[in-house]
A and B are shown apart, each in its own frame.
Chain A
Amino acid sequence: GAGVSQTPSNKVTEKGKYVELRCDPISGHTALYWYRQSLGQGPEFLIYFQGTGAADDSGLPNDRFFAVRPEGSVSTLKIQRTERGDSAVYLCASSSGQSVYGYTFGSGTRLTVV
């Protein structure tokens, strides 16, 4: 597609529920990144995919967070047993290679856990 698409744009869920956030990167971009942006802060790295594999998942805060990219294109970030502290904007970005080229970001999914 023309840009990075993230759905839904907003998600409100109850504490303890499971959520899935979707990212559709720019066609042909092999690298895909997930970041989390809390209010008043810069984006915080979560996980990086090169193709289908997670090359670096060191930013995932705990085992409630998981992400997949089964066909090397669309990625899904999954959060189990959501907590109020998970409330943030989840950003997806893609690039054609290493991040030295800079990212193209999606508009994000605003997750609110009530």
Chain B
Amino acid sequence: AQSVTQLGSHVSVSEGALVLLRCNYSSSVPPYLFWYVQYPNQGLQLLLKYTTGATLVKGINGFEAEFKKSETSFHLTKPSAHMSDAAEYFCAVTLDTGGFKTIFGAGTRLFVKA
């Protein structure tokens, strides 16, 4: 069965510092991988996705993630944090078997300090 583990329910960085949010998945077949962001009192917004092809994917707001099959990881990074990045981030996985069900991680809340 597929599952998603996000390491760290809370991450705090200083403004301008590197953001690294960790995600590991388990899947018996090649997965499709996603990161979603949820700002306070808003719905989830798709940040980026990996389906096939290049393993380094770029998303909105300067975020990127790299699919590493050997490590079953899909960590999210941003070189320089901005105050507006403070939000909750969810890693998600779906399988290439009709793709009708996506499994989400528990989320990581990002705090950005001035």
Contact at B100–A48, with CB atoms within 8 Å? yes
Q: State A93–B101 Cα separation when bound (angstroms).
A: 12
The number of chain A residues touching the other chain, given as a range, is 20 to 34
Contact at A42–B104, with CB atoms within 8 Å? yes
Q: State A30–B15 Cα separation when bound (angstroms).
A: 41
Asked if B83 is at the interface of the complex by the 8 Å CB criterion, the answer is no
Contact flags A23-48 to B (C-beta < 8 A → 1, else 0): 00000000101010000111111001
B residues 10-45 near A (Cβ < 8 Å) are 32, 34, 36, 41-45
Contact at A45–B43, with CB atoms within 8 Å? no
A110 to chain B, nearest CB (A): 10
Q: How many residues in B have their beta carbons less than 8 Å from beta carbons of A? A: 27
Known interface pairs A4-B43, A48-B100. Does A102 touch B49 (Cβ–Cβ under 8 Å)?
yes
Q: State A4–B57 Cα separation when bound (angstroms).
A: 26
Asked if B53 is at the interface of the complex by the 8 Å CB criterion, the answer is no
Contact at B100–A50, with CB atoms within 8 Å? yes
- Residue picked from A100, A106, A107, A108, most chain B C-beta under 10 Å: A100
List residues of chain A with CB within 8 A of the CB of B4.
Answer: 42
Chain A residue with the shortest CB-CB distance to B98: A98
A interface residue numbers (CB < 8 A to B): 4, 31, 33, 35, 40-45, 48, 50, 55-56, 58-59, 91, 93, 98-108
B interface residue numbers (CB < 8 A to A): 4, 9, 32, 34, 36, 41-46, 49, 51, 90, 92, 94, 96, 98-107
